[in-house]
Structure 1
């Protein structure tokens, strides 16, 4: 039979907290690298993520690139000025009779020539240019809506990774408490078996239960490491000592919501949700793409003006300089393109109808998720209250068990089993609190109103 080692205890988190005030759409913050002398709190984690999270940095650059669509689209309806200059060395041979019936002679010419012009083109009537302009505005709006969503998503991802790390520690504490209880049961069963008061089967069952619990501790340690790595990938700073991460404070107060009616939240979401706005912008982009292709059926009218200068343009104008200016209207009328315009228009319109359907899908998804998070916030308060009461009862039970052991009415195994139940309740209570805080941020994100102020309200819960 293999020897069983006494399990080691799990130490709780500890540390202090400080933070800086920041704005929602600023990516340039003062990076606070983690120092062994300070604890890492939730607000500081967000500040580090603003600077280091690769997903957010990618979203920032995507936003910068997308906003240039404003200028690209506007350029389609603005005047265009082009200039050109040509300098040439020419050699020419002229054949022919000098007079009727005369002999054929040839004349060689060698002369330089140059040609330059400046031309201005201004669209007067171009449905394609107008569609490009509107499409550029819609593309810039899409990039802005997408960036707002990604910025809000960063707040939630930081909180989720932070609480996942804390909960993995809570889970490890519970598994260690469970293993300790089974270890004491095994020792008691072994002692009773040696005294002839318990069968070998009882002892083997107790040993098997302990071994299973010990394996769960190994899994819990792996979960802690995975949660730590995920957290580090977001904040971009090493966290070697996870006891430096601030835990949830004991003073848990419920967050105030601007309204407790779901219909009010739904109206807010339909009007302000960033993901829904992005879907609407995408629909507008597809609509203008159709108009841009359909414009191929219509004429294009441009105002054209130019200044030209040419010297020695031909052999008949050697050493002559000609200056010319003109201003006029240029009309282009498509007649036949082999069916390409019709095909592209049909394709673009199908994509527009797809974008409309995608918008409805996004709206249904947002409303469904909004209802889920709303219910989690409302029911979360009730669950926290119930589990808080259960924790108080479990704490009193442990105290009673310890007194009974001193009085000889109970044994240490009973105390460990009571402590196991207490750890289980504490774990469930912590998870419920984490879920409540995450649901609060998600509810505000879905409602389109999530800002750093809301995140700061949650960050206060992790002050020590």
Structure 2
């Protein structure tokens, strides 16, 4: 398992980011801060604590229960009885009465208690797997937000270079037109390309702002764009994902995937619900001890005090409940079948998603290499077009088209690099790897 950062260290990191957002923040630091600050993850941790208490509640049913009751009454008793002459007379008695009872009950045999304890443990396993799933998803969300910011920053750099080149060409076209050697078409073409670059710049800044806000919400602290570390292209060039086969990833996911772990725990809960429903036909046996004291509770002798002590066993045998137990069993069996089918459906869907992300990583590396070659070719085309334009062979439109191809190749290459890294983190999350394993690998590729 990956080492979880201490709470003090992460809180200190978040505090530093809040008061000094210009400090550098790599992907690992962002993820560690999000582990403590993300509301969804904290809610999952609270759910795990609640499930622990549910286990304690289930276990408490095995222990003795002690109850005490006390009562006080004011009695107004009218008695009709014959006197010495045989005449009926009414005698009114006013007196208080009191009673106190202490009962201790110890379950000796209740099948539902044992099943309830097992169910509570299975439900805790469900919640624990849910927490692991949230932390894995958090790694993907942090990586996506972080890389989207880096991609927008790269895209803005490409657009700035494109704007500078277009502005230079626009100035040259204006001068040539003023000197009588240029055309109005060249000016309009350069202006249209510059306006398009400005529109693309606005879109890229909007995307960057959204990703910046998303990351800030995850770590609950301001995010400085200048503080984020950039992707080290030279390190990425020599990096290659682990050589595990798709079968290895699927095997790992089968045993460690938090999604499948959740559904297995729910299937176990459903299976135990069948046992609990069948226990409705089973007898229960309790040991009961009782101590009671009563004063003036007998109308024939109001001034009498009783002190009673009893100890014994109590057997309860269910005979008939209108078919409730049978119906509950049929419902529990149907729920168990439902849980089995949901598990199988999730297993198939997970295999498909792992296959997709595996290919995004392995084939993404090949795609990045191809786009790197395409970028070099586009760069040479742009340079050749400018030289040819100066020699009178190419036009300004040809230069703009070559520059546009170069910018597109640069954007496609940058996007492919970040998508490959995000796919790698997502693959680690789907397969149930150690917490933050994908984050650590990607973080080493940042400068």
C-alpha separation between the residues in 1 aligned to 2:97 and 2:353? Answer: 76
C-alpha separation between the residues in 2 aligned to 1:336 and 1:83? Answer: 28
Q: Deviations over 1:396-452 (max 9, x none)?
A: 677888999999999999888766655544433332222222222222222222323
Question: Is 2:95–2:302's contact at 8 Å kept on the other side of the alignment?
Answer: no
Correspondence for 1:110: 95
Correspondence for 1:231: 215
C-alpha separation between the residues in 2 aligned to 1:74 and 1:367? Answer: 38
1:247 aligns with 2:258: no
1:158 aligns with 2:142: yes
1:48 aligns with 2:28: no
CA shift, 1:319, in A, is 4.3
1:172 aligns with 2:156: yes
CA shift, 1:114, in A, is 2.4
Q: Would the alpha carbon gap of residues 201 and 415 (structure 1) be closer, same or farther in structure 2, given more than 3 Å must change?
A: closer
Q: Deviations over 1:283-314 (max 9, x none)?
A: 22233334434443x03312131121213232
Secondary structure at 1:43 match in 2: helix
CA shift, 1:354, in A, is 2.3
Question: Is 2:99–2:294's contact at 8 Å kept on the other side of the alignment?
Answer: yes
Correspondence for 1:439: 423
Q: Which moved more, 1:40-49 or 1:412-421?
A: 412-421
Q: Which moved more, 1:407-416 or 1:430-439?
A: 407-416
Q: Which runs of 5+ in 2 are unaligned?
A: none
Q: Would the alpha carbon gap of residues 413 and 169 (structure 1) be closer, same or farther in structure 2, given more than 3 Å must change?
A: farther
C-alpha separation between the residues in 2 aligned to 1:186 and 1:383? Answer: 35
Aligned length: 437
Q: Would the alpha carbon gap of residues 415 and 211 (structure 1) be closer, same or farther in structure 2, given more than 3 Å must change?
A: closer
C-alpha separation between the residues in 1 aligned to 2:72 and 2:287? Answer: 27
Q: Would the alpha carbon gap of residues 412 and 238 (structure 1) be closer, same or farther in structure 2, given more than 3 Å must change?
A: farther
1:300 aligns with 2:283: yes
C-alpha separation between the residues in 1 aligned to 2:115 and 2:42? Answer: 31
Question: Is 2:241–2:362's contact at 8 Å kept on the other side of the alignment?
Answer: no
- The equivalences for 1:61-460 within 5 A come to 61-76=46-61, 78-97=62-81, 102-105=86-89, 106-126=91-111, 128-239=112-223, 241-250=224-233, 251-252=235-236, 253-257=238-242, 259-296=243-280, 298-312=281-295, 313-315=297-299, 316=301, 318-337=303-322, 339-391=323-375, 422-460=406-444
CA shift, 1:233, in A, is 1.1
Question: Is 1:91–1:110's contact at 8 Å kept on the other side of the alignment?
Answer: yes
Q: Which runs of 5+ in 1 are unaligned?
A: 1-20
